[in-house]
Amino acid sequence: MTRARRRVLAGLVAAVALGVAACGGSGGEQQAPPSRTLTVSAAASLTDVYGRLKTQFEQADPGTEIRLNFGGSDTLAQQIVQGAPADVLATASTKTMQTAQQAGRIQGQPVTYAANQLQIAVRPGNPKQITGLPSLVGPQVTESVCAPAVPCGAATEAAERAAGVTLDPVSEEQDVRSVLQRVTTGNVDAGLVYVTDVRSADGQVQGIDFPQATAQGAAQSYLIGAVTGSQNADLADSWIRFVTGPQGDVALTQAGFQLK
């Protein structure tokens, strides 16, 4: 082996070692200022509201960092059951919170603090003149919905049952944001999403109310609970009080949630 080649090899080894060290030690630099970090696992539909509340909370309590981990409620609950390091769990369904509770991962009783309803999202101006679920049936209107396996899909099924119609979607998406994207990009005429999703689209879609949105199983409950064994139990409690308190109420209402 020539010296040059050996040097290249040594460089490679050093690079790999550095890479591994960087992977392992990413938490190290954040400990520099004396601060506390609260990790909140929250349903993806809470992205905007929790983002706003995080800023307010951190301003009111300097030295605290709220780390938000967004995802599907099922995924988040599973992660916490598997021992993922989180201090607070905020789900978009009762069922997923129960999953974490039954595994003994939730401290005390979770709080139900908000609800969300389905709306039909259509292009601005409602070019296909959609008035309710029955007007979505048939080939002249293409629609996208959530797959029945995910919470928004279960809600869609409940609404369909209540209306006595069976929709013929061109696609069953994995999450509600994908349904919204199909409508905003103009690839479908309509999509079943939550009021909060319509609100977040900033006028790119229009929301149509329909009576079955309040049917049994169609509305969605939002629950929040502290994770068992959290290192920051008191901080977790104050975040939960903050979200369920007056400031949380304002942010939730603005986003289109109903308060419980």
Partner 1 sequence: MTRAVPASPRPRSSRTGSAGHALPWPVWVPAVVGFGLIAVPVAGLVLRADWPNFLSLVTSDAALDALRLSLQTGLTSTALCLLFGTPLALVLARSDLPGLPVFRSIVLLPLVLPPVVGGLTLLFLLGRTGPVGQLLDAWFGITVPFSTAAVVIAQTFVAMPFLVVSLEGALRTAGDRYEAVAATLGASPMTALRRVTLPVVLPGLVSGAVLAFARALGEFGATVAFAGSLQGTTRTLPLLIYLDSQDDLDSAVALSLLLVVVAVVVIVGTRTRDASGVR
Which residues make up the interface to partner 1 (CB under 8 A)?
Answer: 72, 74-75, 78, 142, 144, 147, 149-150, 169-174, 178, 182, 185-187
Beta bridge partners of 115: 221, 258
CB of residue 166 vs partner 1: minimum separation in angstroms? 14
Closer of 47 and 174 to partner 1 (Cβ): 174
Q: At 221, is the secondary structure helix, strand, or coil?
A: strand
Dihedral pair phi/psi, residue 57, rounded to 5°: -65, -45
Is the CB of residue 248 less than 8 Å from the CB of residue 242? yes
Q: What is the dihedral of CA 35, 36, 42, 46, to 10 degrees?
A: -50
**β-pairing verdict for 143-146 and 258-259:** unpaired
Closer of 11 and 229 to partner 1 (Cβ): 11
**β-pairing verdict for 36-43 and 64-71:** parallel
CB of residue 248 vs partner 1: minimum separation in angstroms? 27
Closer of 170 and 259 to partner 1 (Cβ): 170
Closer of 183 and 227 to partner 1 (Cβ): 183
CB of residue 178 vs partner 1: minimum separation in angstroms? 8
Is the CB of residue 258 less than 8 Å from the CB of residue 115? yes
Closer of 131 and 187 to partner 1 (Cβ): 187
CB of residue 245 vs partner 1: minimum separation in angstroms? 32
CB of residue 2 vs partner 1: minimum separation in angstroms? 16
Write the single-letter amino acid at 18. Answer: L
Beta bridge partners of 90: 42, 224
